[in-house]
Amino acid sequence: METLLGIKGPDFVMLAADTTHARSIIVMKEDQNKIHKASDNLLISTTGESGDTEQFTEFISKNIALYKMRNGYDLSPRAAAHFTRKNLADYLRSRTPYQGLHVCRWVCFRIHQRYDETDGAELAFIDYLANAKSLNHAGHGYGAMFCSSIYDRYWHPNITQDEAYDIFKKCIVEIQKRLVVNLKNFNVSVVDKNGVRNLEPISAQSLTDYNASS
């Protein structure tokens, strides 16, 4: 039910995640941040069993910090995504799998480093079976089903941050119109060469005057 969205641009990655925390048929809180800052240039958004998502994200973040401490440089985005996938896959096959860590999505940004100049923005999509795929735009959850066509229509390789933010607005309008579940508010974060930044959340309220067709 929870929804995560992500867009990769030429030099940034932007993420949006709903802030609803529901248990059974009850909404417990509406300000749950699901986008975690894993390091200076790395964001992870996760949905799933709430304790598991928290535990898993923290574990991955701390290991990435440890890697940096030991080696003096950061894990590359691809390596970081693979590390996450491997951990998820191993837990899936262990006696103590992360129960219903449904989805986990990884995003990283890396400005060139001397050992790997090809790394730029990276958006990795990892699902609960530990499939990993590097994508230009992605989504998890029921809400994401309404977004594929919007991404297809509006995403282009030289997309700017303003355009990406606008795509999220269009997606959220659609989600709030068509999805039976009420997802009122979405947090938005971006990671670029200046690091991680939180943008203005997109909510039903902020969208009242928004014209999606413009």
Partner 1 sequence: MSDRYDRAVTIYSPDGHLLQVEYAQEAVRRGSTAVGLRTNDCIVVGVEKRSSNPLFDERSMRKISMLDNHVVMTFAGLTADARVLISRAQAEAQSYRLNFERPVTVEYITRFIAQMKQNYTQSNGRRPFGLSCLMGGFDGDGKPHLYQTEPSGIYYEWTGSSTGRAGTTAREYMEKHAGDTVDSMDEQTAVKHVVRTLMSGTEMSEPQLDVAVLRFNQPLRMVECQALDDHMRAIRGEIEAEVKTRLVPNKL
Could you give the CA distance from residue 165 to residue 156 in angstroms, rounded to a whole number? 13
Is residue 66 part of the contact set for partner 1 (CB under 8 A)? yes
Q: Does 69 bind partner 1 (CB under 8 A)?
A: yes
Quote the CA–CA distance of 93 and 171 in Å, as a whole number: 35
83 lies in the site for partner 1, by CB under 8 A: no
- Beta carbon nearer to partner 1, 25 or 69: 69
180 counts as binding partner 1 under rule CB under 8 A: no
Using the rule CB under 8 A, give the single segment among 17-25, 26-34, 58-66, 149-157 that binds partner 1: 58-66
C-alpha–C-alpha distance, residues 45 and 35, integer Å: 4
Which of 70, 93, 114, 177 binds partner 1 (CB under 8 A)? It is: 70
Which CB, 62 or 153, lies closer to partner 1?
A: 62
The region of 66-74, 86-94, 184-192, 195-203 touching partner 1 under the rule CB under 8 A is: 66-74
Pairing of strands 195-203, 185-192: antiparallel
Total number of residues that touch partner 1 (CB under 8 A): 8
Instruction: Provide the 3-class DSSP secondary structure of residue 152.
Output: helix
Residues near 170 by beta carbon (within 8 Å), at least 6 away in sequence: 150, 154, 212
Site for partner 1 contains 65 (CB under 8 A): yes
- What one-character DSSP code corresponds to residue 131? -
State the nearest-atom distance from the C-beta of 133 to partner 1, in Å: 28
Cβ atoms of 62 and 155 within 8 Å: the answer is no
- The verdict on 116 binding partner 1 (CB under 8 A) reads no
Contact between 190 and 15 under an 8 Å Cβ cutoff? The reply is yes
Stretch that binds partner 1, among 62-70, 76-84, 92-100, 205-213 (CB under 8 A): 62-70
SS3 169: helix
Least Å from the CB of residue 62 to partner 1: 4
Number of Cβ within 10 Å of residue 173's Cβ equals 19
The rounded distance, in Å, linking the Cα atoms of 90 and 8 is: 28
Q: Are 9 and 164 in contact (CB under 8 A)?
A: yes
Which of the ranges 17-25, 63-71, 73-81, 166-174 carries the binding residues for partner 1, by CB under 8 A? 63-71
With CB under 8 A as the contact rule, the residue among 62, 133, 153, 193 that binds partner 1 is 62
Contact footprint for partner 1 (CB under 8 A): 58-59, 62-63, 65-66, 69-70
